[in-house]
């Protein structure tokens, strides 16, 4: 190895997380012949969420960093909860995040016969038996953390009887729950996972991939390690809740000398405040219509974040910033918003949109006249060009940009006050009109013709700037204003029911007025509505005849970044 290679490896190891350091050490020892093969193994029983994004970035990122491979494998061992819709969404999410898997997508169900054959071998070794107890009886007999488990009355069945019964289970001769196959390990083990775990159960359900070929399905703990082995996975990376399962993972593989034995490594899962990560709870939100769908922009699902307008690059950056650790912690949601703002500021197209319009009449501007100004599409991108913005006697500004009786140090429009209109002129309020309830209906102003472009050469300083749209050319657009779905940092912690903490104001829909150039946008395009926030053209609903925008995040950043 050259000195340069030594230097590169030293730099790589210096920046590496603890999993990468393990891999670097394995490569140096030529373990697995220096190969690195990871996998992302989702269960197709729901949509992926931001926690899965962390795992995706980790597994695919390691494969990229070490010139290895990463498999996509669906752990489809439970036909009751699985659906092709979920499989399709998972594949789309991974691609959208910027990753590709090695070869074709793989399925646990493709290995059902091989798993069954190994289970038969386990029975022949006297290491598995058919149990007739009910699920409740098995649960009770397994004991607790302080009490040892009790042997099943069927634990000592003969190998011949177990083989016969297991074959009948496969052939569909028993009802759901009537019998299970259990590994014979140690009912007195301090690790409850080793107390004769169930490895097969009967389920007369049609499987999305194998149809009605099987009515006998492997349990996750039995299937997972075997799948890793069959695929030649070198480093099986999973979250901390599987740490206590690792002895079982190893025990299964150790019973078959011919099998490749991957190394299981655990890391801390992502916990995000104001968010839930349970697929069961997310499913309830969808099924009970608390949200519109799995990809509702308020959901922490990858597709929900995408629809809200969080760029894939921002999610990757977020996952990079939170790092990989061995200890649990909770990440501030504001960090995700920070990463979104950083990326959106770089790529978002600028437009002026007024969400709550009030009309301004510029009394000294010629009636029937229209002029045009150039506005940059993105000041962060010198190649983004400009667009033409029309201006006439009547415009709309935000209602909150005007006050009749403003406080001190108020720099927006008020009677007698002058402000700058972005890209256009200075205007001064001379009068206003209110309705019977005191609500401002119109504002009357004069403009300074010498301030074209938003500046003058007389040296006067105007501190306030407002965005606006031409009332004669502005077009109506639907804007969906999203807030966090939960009002509590840890939903359900106080009352025990996460539904109690749902934010009743998490969505409001307004009809706004936008400059005409907005209609040239494309579905999924990112926008900065000047002085308002970042928005995206809804990638599912936006068309030239249906201008729908979702609020991604406001302009104000509350997250303090350690630099």
Order across the sheet with 533-537: list the strands.
349-351, 526-529, 533-537, 548-554, 475-482, 507-514, 353-354
- Nearest Cα neighbor of 304 from 23, 53, 555 is 53
From the list 31, 65, 150, 269, the catalytic residue is 269
Instruction: Check whether 108 has a pLDDT greater than 70.
Output: yes
CATH architecture classification, 353-467: Beta Barrel (2.40)
Q: Which CATH number fits domain 17-267: 3.40.190.180, 1.10.760.10, 3.40.50.620, 3.30.110.70?
A: 3.40.50.620
Instruction: Check whether 6 has a pLDDT greater than 70.
Output: no
% the chain with pLDDT above 90: 94
The number of CA neighbours under 13 Å toward the Cβ of 398 is 17
pLDDT band for position 241 (50/70/90)? very high
User: How far is 108 from 201, CA to CA, in rounded Å?
Assistant: 16
Say if residues 430 and 363 touch (Cβ distance below 8 Å): yes
Instruction: Check whether 135 has a pLDDT greater than 90.
Output: yes
The whole-number average pLDDT for the span 34-38 is 97
Asked about 376 being catalytic, the answer comes back as no
The number of CA neighbours under 13 Å toward the Cβ of 305 is 27
* pTM beyond 0.85: yes
Coil, strand, or helix at residue 462?
coil
The whole-number average pLDDT for the span 491-507 is 97
From the list 195, 279, 316, 351, the catalytic residue is 279
Which helix (H) or strand (E) segment is 117 a member of? helix 112-124
pLDDT band for position 10 (50/70/90)? low
Say if residues 238 and 264 touch (Cβ distance below 8 Å): yes
Whether 353-467 and 17-267 are alike in CATH topology: the answer is no
All structural domains of the chain with their residue ranges: 17-267, 279-350+477-554, 353-467
**Residue 201 tokens, joined:** 């159960």
Residue count (the chain): 563
pLDDT of residue 391: 98
pLDDT of residue 460: 84
Asked about 433 being catalytic, the answer comes back as no
User: What does the DSSP 8-state code read for residue 251?
Assistant: H
User: How far is 60 from 69, CA to CA, in rounded Å?
Assistant: 8
Across the chain, mean pLDDT equals 95
Q: Mind listing the pLDDT tens digit for each residue in 451-488?
A: 998 888 887 889 999 999 999 999 999 999 999 999 99
Asked about 269 being catalytic, the answer comes back as yes
**Residue 36 tokens, joined:** 């690195």
Token pair 């996952």: residue: 319
User: How far is 507 from 297, CA to CA, in rounded Å?
Assistant: 10
Q: Where does residue 537 rank: exposed (0-12), middle (13-18), buried (19+ CB within 10 A)?
A: buried
From the list 43, 92, 342, 478, the catalytic residue is 43
Q: Has domain 279-350+477-554 been given CATH number 3.40.50.300? A: no
The whole-number average pLDDT for the span 290-304 is 98
pLDDT of residue 561: 55
User: How far is 398 from 354, CA to CA, in rounded Å?
Assistant: 6
pLDDT band for position 5 (50/70/90)? very low
pLDDT band for position 240 (50/70/90)? very high
């Amino acid at each position: 190895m050259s000195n340069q290679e030594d230097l590169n490896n030293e730099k790589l190891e210096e920046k590496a997380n603890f999993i990468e350091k393990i891999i670097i050490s394995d490569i140096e020892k030529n373990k697995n012949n220096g190969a690195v093969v990871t996998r992302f193994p989702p269960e197709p029983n729901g949509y992926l969420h931001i926690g899965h994004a962390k795992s995706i970035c980790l597994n695919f990122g390691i494969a990229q960093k070490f010139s290895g491979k990463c498999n996509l494998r669906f752990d489809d061992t439970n036909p009751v909860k699985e659906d092709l819709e979920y499989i399709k969404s998972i594949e789309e999410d991974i691609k959208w995040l910027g990753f590709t898997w090695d070869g074709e997508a793989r399925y646990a169900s493709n290995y059902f016969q091989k798993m069954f054959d190994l289970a038969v071998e386990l029975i022949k070794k006297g290491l598995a038996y058919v149990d007739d107890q009910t699920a409740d009886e098995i649960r009770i007999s397994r004991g607790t953390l302080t009490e040892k488990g009790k042997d099943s009355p069927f634990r000592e069945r003969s190998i011949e009887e177990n083989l016969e019964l297991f074959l009948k289970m496969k052939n569909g001769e028993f009802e759901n729950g009537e019998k299970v196959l259990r590994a014979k390990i140690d009912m007195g083990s301090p690790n409850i996972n080793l107390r004769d775990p169930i490895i097969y159960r009967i389920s007369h359900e049609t499987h999305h991939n194998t149809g009605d070929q099987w009515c006998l399905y492997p349990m996750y703990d039995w299937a997972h390690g075997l799948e890793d082995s069959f695929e030649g996975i070198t480093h099986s990376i999973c979250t901390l809740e599987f740490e206590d399962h690792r002895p079982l993972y190893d025990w299964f593989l150790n019973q078959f000398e011919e099998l490749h034995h991957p190394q299981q490594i655990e890391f801390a899962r992502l916990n995000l405040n104001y968010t839930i990560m349970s697929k069961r709870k997310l499913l309830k939100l969808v099924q009970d219509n608390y949200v519109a769908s799995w990809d509702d922009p308020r959901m922490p699902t990858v597709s929900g974040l995408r629809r809200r307008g969080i760029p894939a690059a921002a999610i990757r950056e977020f996952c990079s910033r939170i790092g990989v650790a061995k200890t649990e912690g909770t990440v501030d949601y504001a960090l995700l918003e920070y990463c979104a703002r950083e990326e959106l500021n770089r790529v978002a197209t600028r437009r002026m949109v007024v969400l709550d319009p009030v009309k301004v009449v510029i009394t000294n501007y010629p009636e029937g006249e229209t002029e045009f100004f150039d506005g940059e599409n993105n000041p962060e991108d010198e190649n983004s060009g400009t667009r033409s913005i029309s201006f006439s006697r009547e415009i709309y500004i935000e209602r909150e940009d005007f006050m009749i009786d403003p406080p001190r140090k108020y720099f927006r429009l008020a009677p007698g006050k002058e402000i700058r209109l972005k890209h256009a002129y200075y205007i001064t309020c001379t009068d206003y009109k209110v309705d019977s309830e005191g609500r401002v209906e119109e504002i009357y102003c004069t403009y300074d013709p010498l301030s074209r472009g938003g500046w003058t050469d007389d040296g006067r300083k105007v501190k306030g700037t407002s965005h606006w749209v031409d009332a004669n050319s502005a077009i109506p657009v639907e804007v969906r204003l999203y807030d966090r779905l939960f009002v509590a940092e840890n939903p359900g912690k106080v009352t025990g029911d996460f539904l109690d903490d749902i934010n009743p104001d998490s969505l409001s829909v307004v009809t706004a007025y936008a400059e005409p150039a907005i209609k040239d946008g494309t579905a999924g395009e990112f926008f900065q509505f000047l002085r308002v926030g970042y928005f995206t053209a809804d990638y599912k609903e936006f068309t030239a005849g249906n201008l729908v925008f979702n609020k991604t995040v406001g302009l104000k950043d509350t997250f303090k970044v350690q630099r």
